[in-house]
């Protein structure tokens, strides 16, 4: 099994980007340790505050955010960061080459039940002509990403990472404290019989998604002609990890439950990095109407509908939206 640095060097990744990735992973190792301690560390439960999204913050949300923010800005190669837990961007080194966006603890509501959670991150190039406190730095499409990944805190701590040379999976080896390559090229099967979606929102979905899921549920007796199983972890990292490992389709479609927030997932912190990983593994990612990574953000906290996973199934779902 190989360590991360030689693999990235083989792919021609710049030394500064390798160093930045290793710094992010050092923070994730610390988060992994705190997650594994659970109630023993006194980090479970909620704080008294809410984040910019209007969501109740968990203690681990705050801890993970501060850890990542501190170590990333200390690298000196980052011009600014943007986090799901921060109201605005945080300026770094004016000469920094990179921008980092992250969701410090995706699925944090799962912490109190000892279920899957993770950290999602994306790295973009920084415009040298813009100030480090200029939020327009981040308004780049997902196609501009130079690296993206997530760290999944589960029975083992795993990393999914892409720098545009495929998606690789690594596992944290606690004997020496580093990630080792355990799958050189993740490959999402083109066809699937699994779907992941929050069925409790079904009555709020748009008509195309209503029809698509209704046909899945009809199984062999319906137009799809085969039975589908539903899987739902309620943490995007867990559901996407399953897709990378064995295929499937994950969807969080637009709905009418809250007219002020028709879309749930954040473009920059969740949708873009996951789309990069999935596409590099041979899958597709769409809103139902357009490729997610082609969207040019208008706001750092912008939300979008997400449909990603096995190529044939995503194409089929898109077909319902175009009908």
Mean pLDDT, rounded, for 148-154: 97
As a residue count, the chain comes to: 323
Report which of residues 115 and 226 the model is more confident about.
Answer: 226
Report which of residues 52 and 157 the model is more confident about.
Answer: 157
Q: Is the pLDDT of residue 55 over 50?
A: yes
Largest CA distance in the chain: 61
Mean pLDDT, rounded, for 134-147: 98
| Per-residue pLDDT tens over the stretch 107-126 | 988 877 888 999 999 999 99
Reported confidence tier of residue 234, pLDDT bands at 50, 70, 90: very high
* 39 DSSP 8-state letter: G
pTM to 2 decimal places:
0.94
Q: How far is the C-alpha of 25 from the C-alpha of 159, rounded, in Å?
A: 9
Q: Is the pLDDT of residue 36 over 90?
A: no
Q: Is the pLDDT of residue 48 over 50?
A: no
Mean pLDDT, rounded, for 182-194: 98
Q: Which helix (H) or strand (E) holds 272?
A: helix 272-280
Q: Is the pLDDT of residue 50 over 70?
A: no
DSSP string, 289-322: SSBGGG---SSTT-EE-EEEESHHHHHHHHHHHH
Q: How far is the C-alpha of 267 from the C-alpha of 252, rounded, in Å?
A: 12
Question: Is 107:233 a contact under the CB 8 Å cutoff?
Answer: yes
The pLDDT of residue 177 is 86
Q: Is the pLDDT of residue 45 over 70?
A: no
Q: How far is the C-alpha of 77 from the C-alpha of 130, rounded, in Å?
A: 15
Cα–Cα nearest to 214, from 189, 195, 233: 195
- Give me the chain's average pLDDT, please: 94
Q: Is the pLDDT of residue 46 over 60?
A: no
Mean pLDDT, rounded, for 139-157: 97
Q: Is the pLDDT of residue 53 over 70?
A: no
Cα–Cα nearest to 100, from 129, 128, 71: 71
The pLDDT of residue 112 is 79
Q: Which helix (H) or strand (E) holds 213?
A: helix 207-218
| Per-residue pLDDT tens over the stretch 256-309 | 999 999 999 999 999 999 999 999 999 999 999 999 999 999 999 999 999 999
Question: Is 282:254 a contact under the CB 8 Å cutoff?
Answer: no
Question: Is 174:33 a contact under the CB 8 Å cutoff?
Answer: no
What residues contact residue 244 under an 8 Å CB cut-off, 6+ apart? Answer: 160, 167, 169, 186, 188, 277, 278, 281
């Amino acid at each position: 099994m190989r360590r991360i640095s030689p693999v990235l060097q083989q792919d021609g990744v710049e030394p500064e980007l390798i160093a930045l990735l290793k710094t992010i992973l050092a923070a994730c190792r610390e988060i992994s340790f705190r997650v594994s301690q659970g109630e023993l560390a006194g980090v479970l439960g909620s704080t008294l505050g809410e984040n910019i999204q209007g969501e109740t913050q968990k203690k681990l949300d705050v801890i993970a955010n501060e850890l990542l923010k501190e170590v990333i800005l200390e690298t000196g190669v980052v011009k600014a960061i943007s986090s799901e837990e921060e109201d605005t961007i945080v300026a770094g080194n004016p000469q920094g080459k990179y921008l980092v966006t992250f969701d410090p603890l995706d699925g944090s509501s799962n912490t109190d039940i000892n279920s899957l959670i993770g950290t999602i991150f994306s790295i973009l190039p920084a415009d040298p002509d813009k100030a480090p406190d200029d939020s327009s730095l981040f308004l780049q499409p997902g196609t501009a990403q130079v690296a993206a990944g997530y760290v999944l805190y589960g029975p083992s701590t795993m990393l999914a990472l892409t720098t545009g040379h495929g998606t690789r999976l690594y596992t944290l080896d606690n004997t020496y404290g580093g990630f080792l390559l355990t799958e050189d090229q993740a490959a999402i099967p083109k066809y699937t019989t699994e779907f992941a979606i929050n069925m409790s929102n079904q009555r709020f979905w748009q008509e195309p998604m209503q029809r698509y899921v209704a046909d899945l549920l009809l199984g062999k007796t319906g137009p799809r002609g085969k039975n589908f199983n539903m899987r739902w972890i309620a943490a995007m990292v867990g559901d996407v990890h399953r897709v990378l490992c064995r295929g499937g389709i994950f969807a969080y479609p637009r709905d009418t439950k809250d007219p002020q927030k028709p879309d749930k997932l954040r473009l920059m912190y969740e949708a873009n990095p996951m789309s990069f990983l999935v596409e590099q593994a041979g899958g597709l990612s769409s809103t139902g109407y357009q490729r997610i990574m082609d969207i040019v953000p208008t706001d750092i906290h912008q939300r979008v509908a997400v449909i990603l996973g096995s190529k044939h199934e995503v194409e089929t779902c898109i077909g319902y939206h175009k009908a």
